[in-house]
Amino acid sequence: MLEVRGLEAAYGASQVLFGLDLTIGAGEVISLLGRNGMGKTTTVRSILGLLRPRGGAITFAGSAIAGLPAYRVAQAGIGLVPEGRQIFPNLSVHENLVATARPPRAGTSGEAWTLERLYALFPRLAERQANMGNQLSGGEQQMLAIGRALMTNPRLLILDEATEGLAPLIRAEIWRVLAALKQTGQSILVIDKNVEALSRIADRHYILEKGRIAWSGDSAALRGDAALRGRYLGV
């Protein structure tokens, strides 16, 4: 579904990504791991058209998207749950969910995301649907950010720092939701620091080190190599 080859990206004269390769198949859950400052968010920004790549190729569903504006990438079927949530603070939960909602693209299989289905996934949002975004807790805002992305009926869902700064019970709820989404066949790219949780739901993992893929493999390999985790992730 998504293929990234030889991706290079920079901010001015400061190069961040150096020939990065990454693939995500239909229905796969993939994690992007690495310490802070290794290029994870820059990778996401490059895929989404928020940062124009300096080199390489990005293909999504058979079409080249490298260098396209962000709205075109979103229209192609990539939904983002950004770091920091970035919900609309002065819109209600309901308004946040419908503001950017769109029906499934032609030829898309699977059940479409509707408000009813979304509220069944996140009952807390149903209870708070009349509240403004700035009246929600951090955990509720993260649920809303995920819900807003799902309401675009994405073919690929990207989460940048999926559970950062959340209370343990809310983190557990987010992992439950991601596992449920995986069961529906949703393709997901997730960035998070919780290696244990990621190893339970992700099919494959990529570890970034100074803008390059230092390692890739499945969950069994990641769980079984403590030296690898210590070297690149500090865990």
Number of domains in the chain: 1
pLDDT (0 to 100) of residue 45: 95
pLDDT in tens, 172-216: 999 999 999 999 999 999 999 999 999 999 999 999 999 999 999
Q: Which domain holds residue 187?
A: 2-232
Report helix angle 138-150 to 168-183, nearest 10: 10
Model pLDDT, residue 109: 65
C-alpha span between 206 and 188 (Å, rounded):
13
Instruction: List b or e across 26-40, with b for residues whose CB sees 16 or more CB atoms inside 10 angstroms.
Output: eebbbbbbbeeebbb
Mean pLDDT of 210-230: 94
From 3, 8, 2, 79, select the one nearest 46 (Cα to Cα).
8
The pLDDT of residue 107 is 60
Structure confidence by residue, pLDDT tens digits, 77-134: 999 999 888 999 999 999 999 998 998 876 666 789 999 999 999 999 999 999 999 9
Rounded to an integer, what distance in angstroms lies between the CA atom of residue 135 and that of residue 12?
A: 38
In the block, tokens 């999504």 appear at 60
**Residue 90 confidence (pLDDT):** 95
CATH of the domain at 137: 3.40.50.300
pLDDT at 111: 87
Q: Is the pTM of this model over 0.85?
A: yes
**Mean pLDDT, residues 132-160:** 95
